[in-house]
């Protein structure tokens, strides 16, 4: 019988005292440092530039019909959302690599047999970057299906177009 999991990002699910699912996010030291630098840049230079862009657009007259002003305000909103996302991610992140290699979880390298082909991935999130491994999002259908599985487990998942794909876990390793 196929097994599926529901986890997000480069995280594992746990239950808090209220019965809610909470995410545990793993980041490498390099990823943490890179995201911390991005956050600091957005908080300082990004906000200063955005303020100047809005002030410049505001000087062009009537704000109701000022597309440049509305565009700058939209960009400001996106930047502030990214700042909040990074603050939350960095506040809750665990730095390093998971030590338990008994089950597929974010932060680990997995070797899979997918429809007869051997494929190797780092289970992670869009925030991860790796020079040698392709990132498999834990939010993807295949990522959700393999989370929590052990070596030799067989699972299947449905692609967005409804195709059922079989996967076998061949190995779980530290990256």
What local confidence, expressed as pLDDT, does residue 128 receive? 67
Q: Which of 77, 94, 111 is the last residue of a domain?
A: 94
Mean of all residue pLDDT scores within the chain: 81
CB 6 within 8 A of CB 13: yes
CA distance 35 to 7: 21
For residues 110 and 157, membership in a common domain is answered with: yes
What digits encode the pLDDT tens for the residues 85-107? 999 989 988 787 766 778 888 88
∠ CA 77-78-80, nearest 5°, is 65
CB 40 within 8 A of CB 87: no
What is the number of domains present in the chain?
2
Angle of helix 67-92 relative to helix 29-41, nearest 10 degrees?
150
For residues 60 and 106, membership in a common domain is answered with: no
Residue range of the domain that includes 83: 29-94
What local confidence, expressed as pLDDT, does residue 129 receive? 66
∠ CA 161-166-172, nearest 5°, is 120
Q: Which of 94, 112, 146 is the last residue of a domain?
A: 94
Output the CA–CA distances (angstroms, integers) from residue 26 to 9, 99, 173, in the order listed. Answer: 9, 11, 15
For residues 58 and 85, membership in a common domain is answered with: yes
For residues 112 and 89, membership in a common domain is answered with: no
pTM: 0.62
Assess if residue 149 is contained within a domain: yes
What digits encode the pLDDT tens for the residues 46-57? 999 999 999 998
Assess if residue 16 is contained within a domain: no
For residues 73 and 140, membership in a common domain is answered with: no
CA distance 71 to 146: 41
Q: Are strands 21-27 and 134-137 parallel, antiparallel or unpaired?
A: unpaired
């Amino acid at each position: 019988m196929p097994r599926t999991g529901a986890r997000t990002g480069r995280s594992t699910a746990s239950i808090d005292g209220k019965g809610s699912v909470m995410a545990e996010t793993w980041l490498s030291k390099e990823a943490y440092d890179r995201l911390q630098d991005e956050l600091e840049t957005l908080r300082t230079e990004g906000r200063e530039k955005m303020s100047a862009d809005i002030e410049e657009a505001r000087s062009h007259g009537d704000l109701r019909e000022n597309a440049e002003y509305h565009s700058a305000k939209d960009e400001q909103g996106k930047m502030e959302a990214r700042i909040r996302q990074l603050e939350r991610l960095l506040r809750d992140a665990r730095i390093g690599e998971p030590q338990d290699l008994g089950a597929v979880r974010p932060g680990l390298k997995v070797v899979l047999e997918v429809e007869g082909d051997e494929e190797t991935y780092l289970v992670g999130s869009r925030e991860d970057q790796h020079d040698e491994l392709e990132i498999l999002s834990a939010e993807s259908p295949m990522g959700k299906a393999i989370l929590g599985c052990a070596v030799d487990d067989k699972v299947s998942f449905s692609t967005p177009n409804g195709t059922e794909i079989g996967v076998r876990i061949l190995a779980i390793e530290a990256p």
